[in-house]
Amino acid sequence: MTREDLIATVARITELRSQIANLASLQKELKRLEALIDSVPGVVSGPAPARNRQSVSIAEKIGQFLETRAHMEWSAEELAHQIDAKLPTVRASLSKLRKAGRIIDTRRGHVQAKNAADITEGDTRLAA
C-alpha cells in the first residue's frame, strides 16, 4: 500500500465514521417523531415503509405481557425494561391501553391487566 493509498483509506474511514454518527442521530430523531405521532389521538400516520408489517406494536406487546401476568402490578419503567422499549413509548402505549379498557391503574404509577375476574357488577372502570 502506497502512502497515497493509506491517506485515502484513512480519509474514507473518517468519512464513514461521520456518516455512521449522522445515521445514529437520524434514527433517534425518527423514533422520537414516530412516538410523537403515535401519541396523537385520531391521527393515522399510515404504514411506515421501513417497518416490518408482521411486527407487533409496543402497545400490543405490553398488552400481551400484562395479560400473561394478569395479577401483577407493573410500573412504566419496569415494563420498558421487560419488553426492551423506550420509556416515553411505553407511557404513550399505556395511555392507549387505558383508553381501550385493557389495563387499570392499581396505584400511582402502576398498572395491571384488566381481565374477567376484575370486572364486577357495577364496576365504573369499564369503558363503553
What are the pLDDT digits (tens) for 24-39? 888 888 888 888 888 8
In a 13 Å sphere around the CA of 88, the CA atoms on its Cβ side amount to 10
pLDDT, mean of residues 49-71: 79
* Rounded Cα–Cα distance for residues 81 and 26 (Å): 23
Task: Give CA–CA dist 31/6, Å, rounded.
Answer: 38
pLDDT score recorded for residue 45: 58
On whether the pTM is more than 0.85, the answer is: no
Whether 88 contacts 106, CB under 8 Å: no
Which pLDDT score, from 0 to 100, does residue 60 have?
Answer: 92
